[in-house]
Chain A
Amino acid sequence: MRRFPWDLLLTLVIGVGIGLAYAWVISPWRVFDSDPVALRADFKDQFRSAIAASYQATGNLPRSQARLSLLGDSDSGAALNSEAQRMIASGEFTQADQLAALALALENENVPGVLPTHTSESSGTVEPETVATLPAPPEELPFELTETPEITEAPIDATQVVETQPVVTNPTLRPTWTPIPTLGVPFSLIAQDTVCDTTFPEGLLQVIVFNSARRQVTGAKIIVSWENGEDQFFTGLKPELGNGYADFVMSPNITYTLRLAAGSDIAEGLIAPTCHTPSGETFLGGIKLTFQQP
């Protein structure tokens, strides 16, 4: 009876081990053609910033969504808001605004009631014109071949009809539905409360900003003014208190006016109230303002 060739088997196993060690440790396959999802976190941040800047320039939300999906974030809006906070903290307000605007557009797109504007088939007088379309997209990019949605600064009239052109290859104009981000809807002051709490700093003016989906808005610029001065501050600098939270310390006996830079009701006549402790001592209280996008 022939004995089993253990020596050959052992040699084969040793060879496999040597091969794996070389392939995994000594000389791994050279990295190229990687996907954005594999990027280091700080490069992903820069990628997101570029997407947000591009969105601000073009208003093309579907394209921005497709690009964001490449980064593999479980919640793109949260990732944008988080990065906006970091930008604010590092003083890069322009990029923070861009990131927050894109996050807001994404959130608004998911809210029922954001107006899908009907685009009807054009007729008669409208001359078909050549429309530049997106390139043949990379295979893994789920681009939608649509024209850039318009950004409107005001609530959209329900009867408004926006004419769009289809892709050039089809001369017949067909109705499509184009979501339009509603970035410019002003915020309403929905609550103004006096806060008498000795644990808070005296004269604390708290502001909380919500969007129409009742989610807190990061990076909202707030302008507070008084008789001889003005100051600006932003939501999101204290994320432990909420992404849409911001505060400002009022001086005694000065009347302030506050509004959101993006457009809002104006809170006037804000003056730090005088409060009393249970033992009868007086201290300077605060005010809490809540804004929400309708």
Chain B
Amino acid sequence: MKPSRWLFIFIALVLGVGMGLAYGWFVDPVEFFDLTPDTLRADYKADYVLMVAEAYRAEQDPGLAARRLAILGSRSPSAIASEGLTFARENGFADSDIVLIQELVTAMQAWSGISP
């Protein structure tokens, strides 16, 4: 077999791998389910933080709020709430909602981790 033939075979192999990767990653990627909330898109996470903040305003239970925030990852509740606050500020949330999240951040920063 001529050396040029081997070159064509190599090119065909690389081309095939590339086509397979493109199809498998972009055209028809693996569909995931049973995901954890830390994989949520940032706006969904921020909206979840807002939900927790709305509930916290009425319940005034920092322990419960921290438990709710904990599903968004292993970071501290105050860090998760702060991330939501940053997103809210950068994406034009209403002032009233930003105030709610700010209150939640403050509460989480002050919360010792020991429920009364």
Q: Which A residues are closer than 8 A to B by beta carbons?
A: 5, 7-9, 11-24, 28-29, 31-36, 38-41, 43, 46-47, 49-51, 53-54, 56-58, 67, 70, 132-136, 138-139, 141
Contacts and interface: CB of A to CB of B under 8 A. Distances in A.
Given A134-B97, A141-B47, A11 B55 contact: no
Contacts of B88: 135
A39 B55 CA distance: 21
A134 B95 CA distance: 9
Interface of B: 5, 8-9, 12-26, 29-30, 32-37, 39-44, 47-48, 50-52, 54-55, 57-59, 68, 71, 88, 91-97
A281 B87 CA distance: 73
A243 to B, nearest CB: 25
B17 A16 contact: yes
Contacts of A29: 25-26, 29-30
Contact of A12 (B13, B29, B71): B13
A34 B32 contact: yes
Chain A facing B: main interface SS: helix
Given A15-B16, A132-B95, 8 more contacts: A15-B20, A20-B20, A20-B23, A22-B20, A23-B25, A33-B41, A138-B41, A138-B44
Nearest to A18: B17
Per DSSP, chain B at the interface is helix
B55 A50 contact: yes
A35 B20 CA distance: 26
Contacts of A18: 13, 16-17, 20
B20 A57 contact: no
Nearest to A21: B20
B44 A70 contact: yes
B59 A28 contact: no
A12 B23 CA distance: 14
Nearest to A57: B58
A67 B71 CA distance: 17
